[in-house]
Structure 1
Amino acid sequence: MIDFCAIDFETATFERHSACELGICIVQNSQIVETKTWLIKPPSFPYFSQHNIDIHGITPQDVKDAPTFDEIWYEVEEMMYGTLMIAHNASFDAGVLRSCLNYYGMFTPKLNYLCSIQLAKKSWNYLPRYGLKHLAEYHRIEFKHHRAGDDAEACARISLLAFEKLFLTNNEEITDYMKLKIKKL
């Protein structure tokens, strides 16, 4: 059976450590068991880039009473512990995670991650586009785009469909098949 966590970050500014929302979708035994979202007060608070607000709709008012990243990290890390991390455009989300940990002087866990875009390209190599929105539409997955919990869950659903299409049934098979695409945090 397959175990992984799908994650998604939204940011307040162009700076990678400016996470303002984090979503995690936990998959155990090839089933989604939990999706959790945290609003986060970024270091730039109360400043948010208007460009970023236009993308995700999260404003400084929404996060004024939210915890900072370092206040939620231990709960997040426990949910992710020992599992493969998957994100859509994973270099962005892994970069945000790394930058937040660095900003707060926190230990970076040993974590392998995989980009669901790479996975989708191996699974459906005939599609014209591989954005989360396009893949979700193709698979009739409804979600609120650019909200972290919804994006993480859509990523998890797409990844599960990709594993099924590729006949991958456990984490070892995923590691063998995708070994050149799996990166270390």
Structure 2
Amino acid sequence: MDFCAVDFETANHDRSSACEMGICVVENGEIVETKTWLIKPPQFPYFNRHHVAVHGIYPEDVQDAPTFDEIWYEAESLLYGNLMIAHNAGFDAGVLRGCLDYYGLFKPKLKYLCSVQLARKSWKGLPSYGLKNLATIHQINFNHHRAGDDAEACAKLSILAFNQLMLTRNDEINDVLKKNLKEL
């Protein structure tokens, strides 16, 4: 299995307000790299206090950080040709689209899968499919609501879910989860 797990934290309700991005690269079913970037959002210095309460990232933490367009080419090189997986993927795909649109960047042809849907298919009847609950059940420790940690937890859970479904190759994902795959 080859994929990238992705997570964004946002400064406010605007989809282009990414203040942190994490990507965890999985090759042959193994985590090979996790990369995290703090990002100065276009709305700087405006951060919604509710968002700050969730992730703990303050305007002063990103005042000298690069903007999304400055980190995108490095992030894109990790994502290029890979399946993207995110927990509540609609949100993360929306943030990625919002950032690309804001900066007028080309949207790559990218397929993505939601790890919540993957977990529901793999472990039926759980009381919650939230990232923290799934990580607790599977004894994965992480710093919740920090992009790199969330991406890595998502990657670990996805690997476990693929094993549970006995999927070992990316082409099997298309066969088993085709209706769950979306395109950016």
For residues 154 and 69 of structure 2, the distance between their equivalents in structure 1, rounded to whole angstroms, comes to 25
Q: Which amino acid in 1 is paired with 2:162?
A: F
For residues 104-146 of structure 1, what are the alpha-carbon distances to aligned partners after superposition, in whole Å with 9 as ceiling and x for unaligned?
A: 0010000000000000000001211100000000000000000
1:10 counterpart residue number:
9
Residue number in structure 1 paired with 2:87 = 88
SS in structure 2 of the partner of residue 180 of structure 1? helix
State the partner residue of 2:40. 41
What is the total number of aligned residue pairs between the two structures? 184
1:21-42 deviation line (CA, Å, top 9, x unaligned)? 0000000010000001000000
Which residue pairs with 1:156 in the alignment?
A: 155
How far apart are the structure 1 equivalents of 2:152 and 2:66?
22
Paired residue for 1:141? 140
Separation in 2, partners of 1:166, 1:29: 16
Corresponding residue number in structure 2 for 1:29: 28
Unaligned runs of 5+ in 1: none
Partners of 1:169 and 1:47 lie apart in 2 by 44
Whole-Å Cα distance in 1 between the matches of residues 88 and 80 of structure 2?
21
The TM-score, its normalising length taken from structure 1, stands at 0.99
Distance in 1, Cα, partners of 2:12 & 2:71: 20
Unaligned runs of 5+ in 2: none
Is 1:75 aligned with 2:74? yes
Please list every run of at least 4 consecutive aligned residues from structure 1 whose deviation after the TM superposition is greater than 6 angstroms.
Answer: none
Structure 1 residue identity aligned to 2:125: Y
Give the Å deviation of 1:152. 0.1
Alpha-carbon separation, structure 2, partners of 1:140 and 1:16: 32
Partner SS state of residue 35, structure 1: strand
**Pairwise CA RMSD:** 0.4
Distance 2:136 2:3 in 1: 23
Percent identity among equivalent residues?
A: 68
| Paired position in structure 2 for 1:20 | 19
- After TM superposition, the structure 1 = structure 2 runs for residues 49-128 of structure 1, keeping only pairs within 5 Å, are 49-128=48-127
AA in 2 matched with 1:143: F
Instruction: Give the TM-score of the pair, scaled to structure 2.
Output: 0.99
Encode CA deviations 1:41-91: one digit per residue, 9 max, x unaligned.
Answer: 000101100010000000001001000000000000001110100000000
Partner of 2:182: 183
